[in-house]
A and B are shown apart, each in its own frame.
Chain A
Amino acid sequence: MSMDQDSVVRWLLKEQPMVLAYIRGVVGDEHLADDVFQNLTVLALHKHAEIEDDEHLPGWVRNAARYEALNLVRKRGRQRLVINTDAMELLNAEWESYDTTPGGAVVDTLRKCMEHLTPNARKMVELRYIQGMSSGAVADALQRRADSVYRALIRIRKTLAECIRRHTVEEGAAGA
Chain B
Amino acid sequence: MPDHLDDTHDDDPRDDAPDDLATRIGRYLDGEADEAEVAELSDLLTTDPAARQLYVAMCVGAGAMKALAIKDAATRATSDDTPASLAMPSVDAVELRRARGGRGRSSDVTRYAAAAVLLIVAGVAATLMLSDRGPHDGAGPVVYQPTGEPVGTVVAQTQAVWSDDSASSLIGLGARLDAGARTLNLGYTELQMDRGASVTVAGPAVFNITGPNACRLDRGTLLAQVPPGAKGFTVTTPEMKVVDLGTRFVVHVSDDGQTEVHVLKGHVEAQAITRDGVVFARRSLNAGQAVSSAGSTDRLADVAFAPDRYLWPSDADTPKLSGEARLLAAPPVTSAMDALNSSEMLLFRERTGVEPDETISVTFFGPGRHNVETSRKKGIKPRGARYDAYLLHLDRPGRDKRLTHATVTFPRPIVGVIATRDQLNDSDQLFGSPQTKYPARIDPRFGLDPGDNVVISEDRKTMELELQGYLVDQMRILIEAE
Q: Which residues of A contact B17 (CB under 8 A)?
A: 151
Interface of B is mostly: helix
Are A91 and B116 in contact, with the CB atoms below 8 A?
no
Q: Which residue of B is nearest A36, CB measured?
A: B123
How far is it, in angstroms, between the C-alpha of A45 and the C-alpha of B445 when the chains are bound? 16
Residues of chain A contacted by B54 (CB below 8 angstroms): 158, 161-162
Q: Does A121 contact B8, Cβ atoms closer than 8 Å?
A: yes
Q: Residue A13 contacts which of B113, B122, B127 (CB distance < 8 angstroms)? A: B113
The residue of chain B having its C-beta at the shortest distance from the C-beta of A123 within the complex is B10
Across the interface, do B420 and A155 meet the contact criterion of CB distance under 8 Å? no
Q: Measured between alpha carbons, how far is A84 from B88 in the docked complex, in Å?
A: 38
Residues of chain A lying within 8 A (CB to CB) of residue B338? 67, 70-71, 74
Output the least CB separation between B476 and chain A (Å). 15
User: B38 at the A/B interface (Cβ < 8 Å)?
Assistant: yes
Given contacts A46-B449, A86-B46, A158-B18, contact A110 B59 (CB under 8 A): no
Out of B30, B39, B127, name the residue touching A39 (CB < 8 Å).
Answer: B127
Among B13-69, those with CB < 8 Å from A are 15-19, 22-23, 26, 28-31, 33-35, 38-39, 41-42, 45-46, 52-69
Chain B residues in 8 Å Cβ range of A25: 29, 55-56, 59
Q: How many residues of B contact A (CB 8 A)?
A: 91
B281 at the interface (CB under 8 A from A): no
Residues on A with C-beta less than 8 A from B378 are none
Minimum Cβ distance to chain A for residue B113 (Å): 7
Q: How many residues of A contact B (CB 8 A)?
A: 99
Q: Is the CB of B10 within 8 A of A120?
A: yes
Q: Which of B284-292, B309-317, B436-444 has 4 or more CB atoms under 8 Å from chain A?
A: B436-444
- B95 lies within 8 A of A80 (CB): no
Whether B379 sits at the interface, judged by CB under 8 Å, is no
Please, which residues of chain A bring their CB within 8 A of the CB of B52?
87, 90-91, 93-94
Contact (Cβ within 8 A) B116 A16: yes
- CB pair B446 A50 closer than 8 Å: yes
B304-337 interface (Cβ within 8 A of A): 337
Are B450 and A49 in contact, with the CB atoms below 8 A?
Answer: yes
Cβ of B92 < 8 Å from any Cβ of A? Answer: yes
Q: Is A176 an interface residue (CB 8 A)?
A: no
Chain B residues near A155 (CB-CB < 8 A) = 7-8, 10, 15, 18, 22
Q: Distance (Å) between the CB of B203 and the closest chain A CB? A: 19
A80 near B373: Cβ-Cβ < 8 Å = no
Contact B372 A129 (CB under 8 A): no
State whether A87 and B8 are in contact (beta carbons under 8 Å apart), knowing that A13-B88, A38-B124 are contacts in the complex. no
- A positions within 8 Å CB-CB of B: 2, 9-10, 12-14, 16-22, 24-25, 28-32, 34-35, 37-39, 41-43, 45-47, 49-50, 60, 63-64, 66-68, 70-71, 74, 80-84, 86-95, 97-98, 102-113, 116-118, 120-121, 124-125, 129-132, 148, 151-165, 167
**B interface vs A, CB < 8 Å?**
1-5, 7-11, 15-19, 22-23, 26, 28-31, 33-35, 38-39, 41-42, 45-46, 52-69, 71-72, 88-89, 91-92, 95-96, 99-101, 104, 113, 116-117, 119-120, 122-124, 126-128, 337-338, 372-373, 420-421, 440, 442-447, 449-451, 468, 470-471
A-B contact pairs, 15 of them (CB 8 A): A10-B89, A17-B63, A28-B28, A28-B30, A42-B124, A66-B444, A81-B33, A84-B46, A91-B52, A94-B55, A110-B65, A116-B5, A121-B10, A129-B66, A153-B26
